[in-house]
Amino acid sequence: MLSIKAIFGYVIYALLASGVCLFVLFPEQSVNDYLNWRLAEIDSSLRLTAEAIRPSFPPGLKLSGANLHRDNILQAHFENILLSPELKSLMNSEKRMRFRADLAGGRADGRAIFNGLAPAELANIEASLSRVSLEQIGALQVDERYRLSGLLEGQIRYEGSRAGN
């Protein structure tokens, strides 16, 4: 008969071994492909590249050196992005994901809410921006005749789905 200490030891060993394997054998390329597939479902011209994608704790993903492109034009560079699902929502039809991104010297914090499994069923995105430098956002520097500068602070709220537009 196994003692409680032995069972506890086996459980701790299994958790540690799983954690080490998750970090060492993490399928970075597959996760990158999956993220791009989900972005393409929202808008086929969007593409995300990242220098590194790693699992994080609490459960989620950490992307380092991420670039968001639209039609192969750099829209924004993120030093770090931390994506984590709200664990309570994993069992519901409405999925919620929190994100925190270091963007253009500032920060974006928010959450995305999906009504179903397909990203095209995006319900809304809410984010708060703080100290984001407008000069460093490629999407805002499209026309060289006009230059935006300064620090951006505010709230962003997007509601609706692509199918409804």
Percent of the chain with pLDDT over 70: 90
Within-domain flag for 15: no
119 — pLDDT class (breaks 50, 70, 90): low
Strand segments, DSSP code E, in 91-150 are 95-103, 106-114, 122-133
Instruction: Give the pLDDT confidence score for residue 82 in this predicted structure.
Output: 92
Cβ partners under 8 Å of residue 55, min gap 6: 22, 23, 26, 61, 62
Within-domain flag for 7: no
Domain of residue 83 covers 30-159
Q: How many residues does the chain have?
A: 165
Within-domain flag for 69: yes
Within-domain flag for 4: no
Q: Is the pLDDT of residue 159 over 70?
A: yes
Instruction: Give the pLDDT confidence score for residue 163 in this predicted structure.
Output: 47
165 — pLDDT class (breaks 50, 70, 90): very low
What type of residue sits at position 126?
E
Q: Is the pLDDT of residue 155 over 50?
A: yes
Distance (Å, whole) CA 139 – CA 38: 21
pTM of the predicted model as reported, rounded to 2 decimal places? 0.72
Within-domain flag for 137: yes
Instruction: Give the pLDDT confidence score for residue 85 in this predicted structure.
Output: 87
Neighbours of 132 (CB within 10 A): 21
Within-domain flag for 17: no
Q: Is the pLDDT of residue 152 over 70?
A: yes
Q: How many domains does the chain have?
A: 1
118 — pLDDT class (breaks 50, 70, 90): low
